[in-house]
Amino acid sequence: MGTWGFGVFDDDFTLDIKDYYLLFKEEGVSVNQAVSRIKRIYSDIMNDEGLSPDLEPLFYIGLAATQQECNELVEEIKNKAIEHITLGTGLERWRNAGLISHLRRKSELKKLKKQLMKSECITDSSIVDEVDLNSGRFDPSNQRYSVYEITFPTGKKLIGNTVHLERRGKHFEKYPLK
């Protein structure tokens, strides 16, 4: 899984969460159904208490930021993202990359937290379609990851993986690596 910067979507996992959410919303499903589909896709890395501890913060932070961008922020997602930002969880990759990386990531998340705290939440009382969820399309084993390599202008290479290779390419066109 690649990490290339400090922004909310500057890692493969969080950007995949965003890509899935936008894809499902393009299909016309409700917010609840989109979130349920994503949780089903990542059910292989979830336990009884939720996602694995290293990915749960990225999951909720990425999902909250995406929902906010779409004006579809749900209170549960917002609260979990704010909690992870407040506790400083999910910063291991940036902490391991050094003090500057760690502090810059914390700064980006602090900005997001302020935005989330000001954001209004929607209420989606739609019922989750279990037949849709159990169709097999969202089984973790059916997700096909592609490995990609991108070279920074400095010559440094990033190797990552995604289930949304076309969307990842479009992301890097819109937000070029620095």
Q: What pLDDT shows up at residue 140?
A: 76
Output the average pLDDT for the chain. 86
pTM: predicted TM-score of the whole model, two decimal places: 0.85
Is pLDDT at 107 greater than 70 in this prediction?
Answer: yes
The single residue listed with the structure tokens 């992301």 is 171
Distance CA 129, CA 133 (A): 7
For 44-63, the pLDDT digits (tens) are 776 556 566 678 899 999 99
Q: What pLDDT shows up at residue 23?
A: 93
Q: What pLDDT shows up at residue 155?
A: 82
What are the structure tokens assigned to 55, written together?
């990915």
For 125-147, the pLDDT digits (tens) are 888 888 888 888 887 777 777 78
Q: What pLDDT shows up at residue 48?
A: 57
Written as one string, the DSSP assignment of 83-134 is HHHHHTTT-HHHHHT-HHHHHHHHHHHHHHHHHHHHPPPB---PPP-HHHHT
Per-residue pLDDT, averaged over 19-28, amounts to 94
Predicted confidence band of residue 84 (pLDDT cuts 50, 70, 90): very high
- Alpha carbon dihedral 152, 61, 145, 43, in 10-degree steps, equals 160
